[in-house]
Amino acid sequence: MFNGLFTNIGYLQKALDGTWRRDEIISHNISNIDTPDYKTRGVSFEKELKAAIEGVNFKGRKTRDRHMDIGPTSNLDFVPNIYTVPNTIMREDGNNVDIDTEMVKQAKNTITYFYLAEKTNAGLRRIKNVVNEGRR
């Protein structure tokens, strides 16, 4: 039971890390709205996270320490991919930051972050309940 809870919390942690990094990049884009030749940057991590989640579909149960592991282990070692959007130009000075688009991205990202934080807290509360109920 604990393995499933800890694995889910690991995935949520990686998603939180990715959304946090995305917020930093969006804030950086907004702060450079008047910088000539600045190109909008973005963050992608969803495909890597999905691959890590889908890669763990079968895991054998070990009944003894000397038994071999069966099935793949999750790979949560990836980092969010930061990319530049070079093809669009919003202004004559070469800057391509669109404040409206960035503000919408930031609002969406904030909602996602708070949702993931709540899911993480719920998982930690479940673990706490299991530990506390085990004492009785």
Q: Where are the domains of the chain?
A: 2-135
Q: How would you write the pLDDT of the chain (136 residues) with one tens digit per residue?
A: 445 556 688 889 999 999 999 999 999 999 999 999 999 999 999 988 888 777 755 566 677 777 766 655 556 777 889 999 887 777 888 899 999 999 999 999 999 999 999 999 998 888 888 888 866 6
The DSSP result for 62-115, as a single string, is PSSTTSPP-SPPP-----PEEEE--S---STTS----HHHHHHHHHHHHHHHHH
